[in-house]
Structures are given as structure tokens and as C-alpha cells.
Structure 1
């Protein structure tokens, strides 16, 4: 590969091959052409052999470029080039990277290894392929394109995204019926994160009050305060808050902004109580 008259950045290479930039970096790392060092991508000797070089930019700093004919390299247009990564599935299904992984785990299609993810028999039947990073040995999984049309997956995603609305309730993935969309998002997040939780469990105090969510293994309460809170429950919530203060229990309070960003907000809040997800 000597013609470098029209070199491509990795993002441009990805676009030409109809892949996401993240997917492209993952593939190049798997092939052993690049490696991650601190916060930068560096060429390996194999990557240099394949024609990769560096370019300096006042705006972007140093980045890797590839010869134009790299787009026809058999390693990049092999069968794996038509397979989908976790992040691509997440993008297509309008989910976060973390959520798609947890949903696939809940379906029993994948399971956590010591490092990386392992494919199960159910996952293989659904169109998954086990792969391994050539430089690190870390296992990962790619998927056939038709997995996006899998009725089991689409039904589960629909259940997660929309739930099942009844007269005054929203059905969660674990069967809990909650009273609003925000509570459904919180419940689904706790369930997929593997956190045992109760919904509307009574508070251990005088009076007829219950908690939005309670994590019994950690003796931690979670309360939602936001625009979706029914007006009929506001006075009870204020009373509950006073009870929480008097009891001196551990409490996490979520507002609408935090509910919209649970993947970022809740792990940070839980970590204050030594709960890692």
C-alpha cells in the first residue's frame, strides 16, 4: 500500500466502510493495527506495515491516517465488516451502550467473563459471533444485521422504552406496576443493574407511608421528586421527607434531570453508599 495521495483519517475510513467511528477503532485495535495508550491511539508495527502514518493538525493534534486503498483491505471487508457491535445496536435501538448490554444479558444472550463478554447458546442462535481482541485477548461479541429484526429483542426493547400503560400504572420489566414514566425508568434501571429493590414498601415508622423504592440489601431508599409526581401524592411525599430526616436513613432523591440521565447520575449517587454497578 504505497499510494497515499488521498489518505483517510480513521473516521473517514469508517464513513467510507459504512461503520461508526467507534466500531472502526474497535476493529483496527482487534486487528492489531492500533493500540490505546493513555488517551491516545497509536500505530503498532503491524499498523505501520499496513500503511498507517501520523498527521499533525493545529486543531486536532496528532492523528492516524490510512492510504485510500485501505477501504478494500480484505480484513476490513470480510464477513465481520457486516457484523454489528454493541454500540451500533444501541444507536439503532435508541438505547445507551450500557442498557443494550444489560438487556442482552437479561435475555440470556450474553454473560460477563473475567474480562469482556461471552456469548451463550441463546445468543449464538440469535445471531451472535464470539470474537477476541488479538492484542489483549479480551473477548467481545458481534451480531448479524438481522438481530435488529429479532422479535424477542424488539419486544424487550419496546417493553423497556414504552412499558405497558394501564389505567394509572406503567408495567416495568420486572413486573412492577408504577405510577409514572419516571418511576418506570428508575425501576427498569435498578432491575437491569441487578439491584434487588422493592416498590412502594411501607416505611418502618408510624403512619401509612411508603417509599418509592427500597434496596433492602443496602438499607437505602430512593425517592423521585419531579413534574410527574401526582399532585395527590405531594403532601405525602413532603411528610415522607420529614420522616426520612427523623429516622436518619440513607436516602437518594432524584429529580427530572437526573432521571433523564440515570446512567450517569445513579452510579455516582450509589457509590456514596459503597454500591458499585
Structure 2
């Protein structure tokens, strides 16, 4: 199939290149980046390719018969954070911060940019035609996302009672672990944690003035909780103790597989690191843009 440049495609459709670029942005096929244009994953899926020219540098080409009506998007309605917010009686700004907390978007200099996790939820990067400010569009089904609903419930202080089906499918190993290792150690910020090592980690984060959550559910369908979560940088911290417990080791293996599966930012700590947090944690956190001091 013959491939043509965006300018040539505009000429074929008898529109200006500027109008076509704006339309492609609206479809989620391209995104303005610095002084050029970048193909999105959706653009690649619809036949877009980046070519290199010694005279013009990088440019994007398209199949000559590309469907600019985007039937795929028509079948899967895409909505903005404003529409999502209306479903939960929240402002668009509040909704974007919730999506950011989930790790699905991140704040740019102006607007919001989708993350790899957001792409896995079906989000598509878009850009305002007039201002050029980036934003993200989502499948309408995102409103039914368990992770989104749970997070909004926490934010609004309203937690839904688990259904019988949810209770039956809850991770039994996780429940057994919680019952075996009670949260009986109080850290400096009031968190009740399950070991002295976790108390040291929690205290270190508190004294470093790093906002953190303890035992936050991962924003995935699986019923898994992290040890610590740092919203800045979207970083998860796991302390691996109890190495002589076979069930604990099996649980550890499953958790690591899930962290890898979803590509989460993970810091793993064992006893030797806990004894030297002042040297270890600042360096590890900095990798994810979190300044400790």
C-alpha cells in the first residue's frame, strides 16, 4: 500500500495541512511534542510510520487509504475527564488528580499526558486544537473500572461494601498474612504497621516529609496491597522480611510478578537496606524523581 506524507494527504482531501494535523490530533493519532509531531500508539495501529529524510528530517507517512473517520473510536466512545467527573459529581480538575494518583496520567507544563499505565486502560492522548494543551480521552467503560471506583470512594470517604462475589474471590493468602502478622507497631505519623522494620521505613519517610500511604491497594483488578506508596513519582516500596516463611515467599513471588506485569515503579528493601536507610532510600527515590532532602 502506497504511503504518503501528511501534507500530501491533506492535499488529497482538499484541506489545509493545519486542518488535517488538528484532525489527526483529535483522532488521537499524533501528538505535538516540542517543535515536531509524534505518533501515538493509536496512530501506529492505523498505519502511521515515521520516516527519515536527509533534507527534511523526521516526518510521518500514512497509508493512502487511511480511514480518517476513525470507526474504531466511533465504536468505542471516548470521553474526557470532565465527562468522567460528572458521573461521580467531581470537577475535571479533581478527576485528573485522581487519574494521576492512579498513575494513569501525569501533569505536564500545561495539561495532562498519558502514562504507559493509562494506555493500558485504553486512554488516548489528545490536544486542544486552539491552545495546543494536551489532555487524555478515555473509553466510556472507564467509569466502571474497579480501581477508579475504589479510589474515588476513598477520596470521597465513601467505601462500598464488598459484594459476596468479591469476598469469595479475595486473595486468601493475603488475608492469612494480615491475620498472622498484626499491625501493632505505631509509627511516628500514627500508621499502625506490621513490623519494626516497616516502622523504621515509615518513620524515615515521615521525617523526610515525604507524603506516603501504608498498605494501599494497587490500582489493578487483582486484590494486592503494597507496603508503602509515594504519590510523587508513583513509587511503591516493598519490605521483604519473613524469608523463612514458605507461604510468605510464594506471596512475594506473586507480588513481584504483578509489579513487573504492570510496570510499576518499585523499590525493594530487605533488612540490610533498612539498617542503612539514610544512604539507601534517597538514592533509590531519586531514580523516580522524588527528592528526599
Q: Structures share a fold, TM > 0.5?
A: no
Q: The TM-score by the shorter chain falls in which range? A: 0.3 to 0.5
Could you state the TM-score of these two structures normalised by the residue count of structure 1? 0.38
Could you state the TM-score of these two structures normalised by the residue count of structure 2? 0.36
